[in-house]
Amino acid sequence: MPQTGPSQTVKFYQTGTLTVGNRLLDPASRTVQSSESRSNAITCGHRACQGCGEALGARYAVDAAMRAANSQLVCVNATGCLEVFTTPYPETSWQVPWLHSLFGNAAAVAAGVAAAMRVKGRQEVRVLAQGGDGGTTDIGFGCLSGMFERNDDVLYVCYDNQAYMNTGVQRSSATPPTARTATTPVAEDAPGNVFGTGKNVPLIAMAHNIPYVATASVADLHDLEAKVNRAMSLRGARYLHVLVPCPLGWGSASHDTIRLARLAVECGLFPLFEAEHGEITATKPIRRRVPVEEYLRPQRRFAHLFRPDAPHAGEALARIQAMADANIRRFDLLRMSDDRKETA
């Protein structure tokens, strides 16, 4: 199967009709992910935690990119969970050429790989850079912005689990307000992370007028794949921001990863959209809107907001709800929802 590149025999664990990529269907009806000949960029046997959103998001993003690039793909990785759990020497889970350099420079290293491919006349080789929210929104932000500004031919994927999970759950600039982390502990009058002004990297990416920016969630893998496909159909700097819940850092059950990723979208805190050259081209409407409490409550990092005696908890929840409402207004996310039909 030369067109799918490096692959391994796919194990058939999955049963039932609700599993992702159901393999009980006849081959013609299966998704690409559930086909035996699918590309398999990150093999099983890596050391991600149970229920890791990043492992799932990365596998789908890289596999989709690999298919779109006809297997001519090079991956560059920032330091972080994904790097550590896939490459404890002498093992590697990567079936594609893969380079890890440092925490803060994945975008620049990828730009270097893209430059080398261009100068070598190997335009068919595509470059994918990846990092967590720490490596993207904090320490790697300068290099990322430089890559955007030069319009280097790289797809950068940020797997956002909203804190530094690899080092033991410390706050990043993607950590939401009030979230408890190891460096934003909960105290009497300090409920977790601050209400700052936020750092919305997808919107900042859009401000660079790059060809493509999108947000995605591991709760909707077909949407994620479609966005990777769209990104790969374009040249130049492209940015994909994927919300990947982290059971360890969020204090959530490992079987709740997908549910939380979905609730983050449905409450409005994580809007799904696409933008090309700085203009929004598509948003994903919310069909069943939920209050933010429904998303926050299953996560221990927000547990302090739900203690009956917690001071300011009501005010904090109201402010988080206001953030979700602002997103809903900004992206007109309720235009097809049941809520709107009722009120109309």
Partner 1 sequence: MLKQIEGSRAMAEAIALCRPEVICAYPITPQTHIVEGLAELVRDGRLTGCEYLNVESEFAALSVAIGSSAAGARTYTATSSQGLLFMMEAVYNASGLGLPIVMTLGNRAIGAPINIWNDHSDAMAVRDAGWIMLFAETNQEAVDLHIQAFRLAEELSCPVMVNVDGFILTHAVERVDVPEQIQVDTFLPPFEPVQVLDPRDPVSIGAMVGPEAFTEVRYLAHHKQMLALDAIPRIAAEFKGVFGRESGGLLRGYRMEDADTVVVAMGSVMGTIKDTIDEMRDQGHAVGALHIGSFRPFPLEEVRSALLPAKRVVVLEKNLAIGMGGVLASHVRMALRGHGNRVHTLVAGLGGRPITRASLSRFLAVVEQEPHNTLHFLDLNTEVVEAEIARMAQTRRSGPIAENVLRRMGAGGLL
| Contacts to partner 1 by CB under 8 A | 5-6, 71-74, 76-77, 83-84, 87-90, 92, 94-102, 104-105, 108-120, 125, 142-143, 145-146, 149-150
Residues 4 and 10: beta-carbon distance below 8 Å:
no
**CB-wise, 116 or 322, nearer to partner 1?**
116
Residues 260 and 252: beta-carbon distance below 8 Å:
yes
**CB-wise, 124 or 294, nearer to partner 1?**
124
CA 305 to chain centre: 25
The minimum distance between CB 151 and partner 1, in angstroms, equals 11
**CB-wise, 164 or 331, nearer to partner 1?**
164
Query: Token pair 């999970």 is at which residue?
Result: 165
The count of C-alpha atoms lying within 13 angstroms of the C-alpha of 295, restricted to the half-sphere facing its C-beta, is 24
The minimum distance between CB 251 and partner 1, in angstroms, equals 26
CA 182 to chain centre: 22
**CB-wise, 100 or 171, nearer to partner 1?**
100
**CB-wise, 114 or 179, nearer to partner 1?**
114
The minimum distance between CB 237 and partner 1, in angstroms, equals 13
The minimum distance between CB 155 and partner 1, in angstroms, equals 14
Instruction: For residue 35, give the nearest of 45, 49, 25 by alpha carbon.
Output: 25
The minimum distance between CB 159 and partner 1, in angstroms, equals 18
How far is the C-alpha of 250 from the C-alpha of 262, rounded, in Å? 15
**CB-wise, 76 or 169, nearer to partner 1?**
76
Q: Is the C-alpha dihedral spanning 262, 258, 110, 62 positive or negative?
A: negative
The minimum distance between CB 198 and partner 1, in angstroms, equals 23
Residues 176 and 295: beta-carbon distance below 8 Å:
no
Residues 306 and 295: beta-carbon distance below 8 Å:
no
The minimum distance between CB 26 and partner 1, in angstroms, equals 32
**CB-wise, 120 or 288, nearer to partner 1?**
120
Residues 156 and 129: beta-carbon distance below 8 Å:
yes
Q: At 263, which amino acid appears?
A: L
DSSP conformation class of 170: B
Residues paired with 155 in a beta bridge:
128, 238
Query: Token pair 């709760």 is at which residue?
Result: 219
How far is the C-alpha of 31 from the C-alpha of 225, rounded, in Å? 11
